[in-house]
């Protein structure tokens, strides 16, 4: 059995130990020790500790019955070993886990909502509480109580009890367990069966902040941060608001007002831009229609566009079609070392432009594709004129053959 020193003193970051069992498998070294400060992975929703054994990085830590297994990528020959963990990560986990107990107690006290599950993540942690709905005001109420518990600096302690003594303890949530029953107590306020690492007083949590929620099946999942994570989050948000304030030349109280004014102005500008775009498209489409060509009793639009016009191509085509449905539209645009083309036909004609595209690809080096009524792609610059002429010839030939 591995002695779990993180239960007795979670602030230990360096100890000596000795190997009680070792085996090698798939190039990895598996160690069981007489004692450890390494917390095993996902025990009670908490991630493992990271650190070193004899200056070799520990790759994984997991429970095997009453033992804890440490996995390394290198073999260790000596039985005496030195263990060290990343204390900054450990203390962060201690803050988040104790914050979960406090937050769960707050929701239970105010609303009688039980915590169904807990997960300690790398960016934020979550608890699933036994309610299908929640409001911002209810969250705020529980959050305020949780932070009052933090500020009251209640002592946090842990101890092992036997099943018969467990019946006399007002456990927040019953768990089926009959050995190694570890109680984490917040000074008579909260009692939980828990194997995790915790701070010694609620004041060490610093602050608890709920940062989001979502419905998950029949529960509500709350996202929260605590301690240094909450401070880092505040500093990031404060820096962002300060940058916005300075760019808007506003004081702290006027930032929101300025942002709302900008949003309203943007709505007006977007509306004006939309109307202007419609006018531009109309003018360009009417100019195109004024140069309509009739070839073999078929109407063609043949137009070379610049970059700005090509950005409006779909809108221009739509407007042209709305004015004159029985029209073939052939548009080209010079791009880098090639000519882009976009060709469409009236939809009520029994004509397959894809077939024409295939026939033309036998003569020209074409990249592109399309469907029955629209083809697009690119060709060499020096093939532009002959390509357009062949497109028109093939259209006329196909229709005459029907």
E strand or H helix that includes residue 259:
helix 255-289
Answer yes or no: are the C-beta atoms of 342 and 331 closer than 8 Å: yes
| 268 pLDDT higher than 80 | yes
Name the band, by pLDDT with cuts 50, 70 and 90, for residue 307: confident
| CA-closest candidate to residue 131, choices 119, 145, 115, 143 | 115
74-95 mean pLDDT: 97
CATH number of the structural domain 3-85: 2.40.30.130
Q: Which structure tokens are listed for 134? A: 């929640």
160-173 mean pLDDT: 90
| CA-closest candidate to residue 184, choices 203, 158, 204, 161 | 158
162-186 mean pLDDT: 89
Name the band, by pLDDT with cuts 50, 70 and 90, for residue 402: low
313-342 mean pLDDT: 90
| 401 pLDDT higher than 80 | no
Across 80-99, b (16+ Cβ under 10 Å) vs e yields ebebbbebebbbbbbbbbbb
Dist CA 95 CA 44 (whole Å): 15
Q: Express each pLDDT in 48-68 by its tens digit.
A: 999 999 999 999 999 999 999
What's the confidence (pLDDT) of residue 173? 86
Phi and psi dihedrals of 83, rounded to 5?
-110, 140
Q: Express each pLDDT in 246-262 by its tens digit.
A: 999 988 888 989 999 99
Residue 156 burial (10 A CB sphere; 0-12, 13-18, 19+)? buried
pTM of the model: 0.74
36-44 mean pLDDT: 92
What's the confidence (pLDDT) of residue 79? 96
Coil, helix or strand for 262? helix
- % residues pLDDT > 90 (the chain): 79
**Domain spans, the chain:** 3-85, 90-234, 283-400
| 367 pLDDT higher than 70 | yes
Average pLDDT of the chain, as a whole number? 93
| 306 pLDDT higher than 70 | yes
Q: Maximum Cα–Cα distance for the chain, whole Å?
A: 101
Least confident range from 75-79, 114-118, 311-315: namely: 311-315
Q: Express each pLDDT in 228-237 by its tens digit.
A: 999 999 999 9
What's the confidence (pLDDT) of residue 93? 98
Least confident range from 17-26, 79-88, 313-322: namely: 313-322
Dist CA 85 CA 15 (whole Å): 10
| 240 pLDDT higher than 90 | yes
What's the CATH architecture for 283-400?
Answer: Roll (3.10)
295-301 mean pLDDT: 92
Phi and psi dihedrals of 189, rounded to 5?
-90, -40
What's the confidence (pLDDT) of residue 43? 83
19-39 mean pLDDT: 97
What's the confidence (pLDDT) of residue 349? 86
| 326 pLDDT higher than 80 | yes
What's the CATH architecture for 90-234?
Answer: 2-Layer Sandwich (3.30)
Q: Express each pLDDT in 107-153 by its tens digit.
A: 999 999 999 999 999 999 999 999 999 999 999 999 999 999 999 99
Least confident range from 46-55, 150-159, 354-363: namely: 354-363
Tell me the C-alpha to C-alpha distance, in Å, between residue 364 and each of 215, 216, 354, 382, 399: 58, 58, 15, 11, 22
């Amino acid at each position: 059995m591995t002695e779990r020193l993180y239960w007795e003193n979670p602030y230990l970051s360096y100890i000596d130990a000795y190997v009680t069992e070792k085996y090698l498998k798939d190039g990895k070294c598996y160690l069981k020790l007489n004692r450890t400060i390494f917390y095993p992975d996902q025990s009670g929703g908490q991630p493992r500790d990271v650190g070193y054994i004899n200056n070799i990085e520990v790759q994984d830590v997991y429970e095997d019955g009453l033992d804890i297994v440490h996995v390394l990528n290198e073999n260790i020959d000596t039985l005496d070993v030195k263990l060290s963990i990343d204390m900054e990560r450990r203390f962060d986990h201690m803050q988040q886990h104790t914050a979960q107990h406090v937050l769960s107690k707050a929701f239970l006290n105010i609303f009688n909502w039980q915590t169904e599950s807990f997960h300690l993540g790398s960016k934020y942690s979550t608890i699933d509480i036994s309610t299908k709905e929640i409001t911002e005001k209810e969250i705020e109420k529980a959050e305020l109580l949780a932070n009052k518990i933090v500020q009251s600096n209640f002592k946090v302690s842990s101890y092992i009890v036997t099943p018969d003594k467990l019946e006399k303890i007002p456990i927040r949530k019953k768990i089926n367990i009959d050995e190694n029953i570890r109680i984490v107590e917040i000074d008579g306020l909260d009692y939980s069966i828990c194997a995790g690492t915790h701070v010694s007083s609620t004041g060490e949590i610093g602050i608890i902040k709920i940062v989001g929620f979502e419905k998950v099946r029949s529960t509500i999942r709350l996202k929260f941060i605590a301690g240094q994570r909450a401070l880092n989050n505040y500093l990031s948000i404060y820096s962002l608001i300060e940058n916005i304030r300075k760019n808007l030349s506003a004081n702290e109280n006027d930032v929101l007002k300025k942002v709302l004014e900008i949003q309203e102005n943007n709505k007006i500008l977007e509306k004006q831009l939309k109307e202007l775009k419609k006018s531009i498209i109309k003018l360009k489409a009417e100019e195109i229609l004024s140069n309509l060509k009739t070839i073999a009793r078929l109407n063609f639009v043949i137009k070379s566009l610049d970059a700005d016009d090509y950005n409006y191509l779909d809108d221009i085509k739509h407007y042209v079609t709305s004015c004159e449905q029985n029209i073939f539209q052939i548009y080209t645009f010079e791009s880098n070392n090639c000519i882009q083309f976009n060709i469409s036909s009236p939809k009520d004609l029994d004509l397959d432009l894809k077939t024409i595209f295939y026939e033309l690809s036998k003569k020209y080096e074409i990249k592109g594709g399309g469907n029955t009524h629209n083809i697009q792609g690119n060709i060499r610059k020096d093939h532009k004129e002959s390509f357009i002429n062949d497109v028109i010839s093939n259209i006329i030939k196909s229709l005459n053959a029907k």
